[in-house]
Structure 1
Amino acid sequence: MKTIVLIGAGNMGGALLQGWIGSWQHEAAFNVIDPVAEASDRYPGVAFHTEAAALPAGLKPDVVILAVKPDKVVPALKEVAPHIGPATCIVSVAAGVGIDTIGTALPAGTPIARIMPNIGAMAGYAVSAGFAGPDVPQATEALLDDMFSAIGPMCWVENEDDLHTVTAISGSGPAYFFAFCETLRDAAMAHGLPAATAETLAVGTAITAGRLLEGSPTPEDLRHKVTSPNGTTAAGLAALARDDRLAHLLDRTVDAAKARSVELSGAPKT
């Protein structure tokens, strides 16, 4: 049985925990540290503690997951330090805190990984991307892959700096789709539809597109299937693509979000 310590059971940490309990087909013992932690019927068999000092004596977990705000990562590690063994892997889901910074609070050689699940975790379906530090054994990386794949698609990047792009795509990406929904709704209203009807159609269409994407090889494949030559969809897509405006807009969007991620991390711009 694997032993997992989760530090932080707020929106993200709580969502991850609920997803693992419901979907991860692996025998594991969870200990949760959170200042306002309370046992809940939603988390059967999970031990909750309000501070690291309350963890069972001698506990050396396989994985410690940091689901706290970036400025709390190092303090949280210092509190849980007595329970970190040489094989304990530290996994941070906090944005902008690099492995070098995390390592300042740990003994040399401690396995460290960063994994960035997105807000979909709150709906039971998160897209995640991670970077495993050089001290993370393959078996541990496989365990982490198994954990995060249980709540949605999981992939790994080869360079830690690529997590800035991950943040700009899957981290911030849901908001881009929300903004597109808003704009499509507003366009429907501008063309005469009542507000409630416009909202229903715009949001429902986004959900429809997402469900279709789940079963399709590629977005291009779906786009071709739903676009009749010289039809209404073709006309609308042509307007979106004119002068590469959509491509340029999204490139600027990702560039801005990525630059902000770099800025927040304190890393030098490249």
Structure 2
Amino acid sequence: MPNDRLRDAMLRNGMTPASLAEKIDVDPKTVERWITQDRTPYPRHRHAIAALIRESESYLWPKAVTAEKASRLGQNEIIQVYSRRSSVPYEVWRRLIERAEERIDVLAYAGLFLVEQDPGLIDTLRQKALNGVSIRVLLGDPDRPTIERRSIEEGAPGVMAAKIRQVRQYYDRLRETPGVEVRYHETTLYNSIYRFDDEMLVNTHVLGIPAPHAPVMHLRRISGGDMFRTYADSFDRALLSSYPLGDSEMAP
């Protein structure tokens, strides 16, 4: 049975069996066997391949990484845990945004604090996008019941929808910028996710507690770990069910 995950990851990174073989100093036929016969490479080769094609070992070779090792690697992906989002230093947000070279992903209901703590954020994102960084922002649809339910749970009816409409005014300034997507979602969020290349801030959601007062995990992706991937996959699922701004107003 072929290893389609390895094949697809190589294609996404523009690699052939010959080019990968050259980079890790093995025979191209060996790489072919890893793909077509699902042979498992030696650990040193797994590490090198995962780093080159920016995928985790546990994703490429699920049977090669034991549950115990995957758990240990996942723990190593945790850089810092903050007791509440409001205690995350602004310098951390600024560093992650400024250093992003490939992607900036935001999944939240509003995330208004981002533009409030940095008035120049929209200009920064525009320049990032013009430099080739993919910017994807998923906001809660203010007209959906999930948003009002969240507001009621926090004891502030109507506030969340107002925040979303307010933050949308900022992101509307990026409407014509290539490489920027701002979309609505109606997902029930268990976490807000802020991804900057291979680092991520995950703001947990706690029933009855506003997001600024809920814990945040700072994660950094490492080869073989699965915690970062878990949240990255969560963002991707929300992205698949998201829709362009304005669609909700046209819905019956």
Q: TM-score, normalised by structure 2?
A: 0.24
Q: TM-score, normalised by structure 1?
A: 0.23
Whichever of the two has the greater Rg, that structure is 1
